[in-house]
Amino acid sequence: MKRLTFSLTFILLICSFAAGETLKSALFGNPVADMTEPARKINELCLFNNKLYIGHGDYGVNTGPTDVIYYDFGTKTWNKEFTVDDEAIVLYRIIDNKLFIPGVDACEKENEWDFGNYYELTDTGWKKYRAVPSAVHVFDIAKVDSSIYLATGEVIGNDSLYIAPGAVMVSRDSGESFNYSYTSPSDENLVYRIKSLAMFQGKIYAFPYGYSFYMKNDVPSEYLQYYSDPYTEDGEDYYLTLEPNLLGGADFLVFDGNKWKGTDIIFDDKLCNINGYAFKDKLLLTCTFGDYVSSVSAYIKKHKKMPANTRNAMYVYDGKKNVKINFQYDLILDVLVKDKLIYIMYMKNNVYSIMSSEDFSNWAFYDIPEEAANPLSIETDGKLFYIGTESGAIYELRR
């Protein structure tokens, strides 16, 4: 495979035309308007079987159980189809023409941390699978032949002492039971998680991250200005802090069907978060770097700019080599792979925009109008964009 290269023309195109044209907007709907404010967040939009499914809620605040809501383009109505026993819906996955929901935070009446959930839309309705041991969070789902893989955040132990590794769980009996396929390192002072999965060149790519609970005195004074409000537990205030270089020489993990292997392609020991999105024969990698990085999105929302201790970058990886995309941004809100295009919704200089490409070389740019404030999620039918916002409003955008 030839190394992916970018010409000077491409670099200038990215820098010169990032503003793009402003799209026209219309309110499409607000089916969660009567819910509490944190439950209204539209984390996800997904077109499936002539319906627009929404994923809403906040699993940090714990707003569940969570309704599965969709808009039916045939009847032009909003409908509630099911309720998941999880604090939010943050992701839908379409696999083998079936719709799945990873259960991001189980809210069972008893022993909620004993098992994690995921859900499948079958011919007879939604089916719940509660069989993922110790999975406080089920973040993503992938399928290889008849095996189901889940990206999870585990909690193992008891109330007085527990550890929190990240794991990839596997089921070879159609979701009835799960075993560990991979577990991250673990220790009593750090929470590890596997946040996302990507199928690329016949292999599973898994993307870990981890954070520590720092007390105020643990954080150098020059970095405190970049933190949001502390997390309080048992009367103590803690600052959630992403840990750079989490797995040493591994940026992400690759499973070839036999073994998991850490892969290092970004030689920067300040890497503290990475996500991957397979598109055609490439993998888009979105990365965050820095020291004492906390909630970048919360800081930007408050100060309208990037924290000075944090930087971002995007790379394109062909399975052997990677190339950095020469484009600056403050925040990636959502990435959507749809048919022949990849769409990236981002914020730069307090302006929300969409960039799209069919080859990572030629890009189109569109600015999201101000009325679609604080966008979180994007979907498209190839003609219109649908934008889900923090307030719960969903907008239809067109050129």
Q: Give the pLDDT confidence of 164-183 residue by residue, as tens digits.
A: 999 999 999 999 999 999 99
H/E element, 16:
helix 8-16
| Amino acid at residue number 8 | L
Per-residue pLDDT of the chain (399 residues; tens, 9 = 90+): 223 333 322 333 343 344 578 899 999 999 999 999 999 999 999 999 999 999 999 999 999 999 999 999 999 999 999 999 999 999 999 999 999 999 999 999 888 889 999 999 999 999 999 999 999 999 999 999 999 999 999 999 876 778 999 999 999 999 999 999 999 999 988 999 999 999 999 999 999 999 999 999 999 999 999 998 888 888 889 999 999 999 988 999 999 999 999 999 999 999 999 999 999 999 999 999 999 999 999 999 899 899 999 999 999 999 999 999 999 999 999 999 998 999 999 999 999 999 999 999 999 999 999 999 999 999 999 999 999 999 999 999 998
51-56 and 66-72 beta bridge pairing:
antiparallel
pTM: 0.93
| Contact indicator for 197, 141 with CB cutoff of 8 Å | yes
What is the maximal distance between C-alpha atoms in the chain?
Answer: 59
CATH architecture of 31-188: 6 Propeller (2.120)
Q: Average pLDDT of the chain?
A: 92
Q: Phi/psi zone of residue 47: left (φ > 0), alpha (ψ -120 to 50 degrees), beta?
A: beta
Range(s) for CATH 2.120.10.80 in the chain? 31-188
Distance CA 390, CA 399 (A): 23
Q: Please, is 1 exposed, middle or buried when counting C-beta atoms within 10 Å of its C-beta (0-12, 13-18, 19+)?
A: exposed
Written as six digits, the tokens of 71 are 């808009």
The first and second tokens of residue 361, run together, are: 């070389």
The span from the CA of 107 to the CA of 84, in Å, is 9
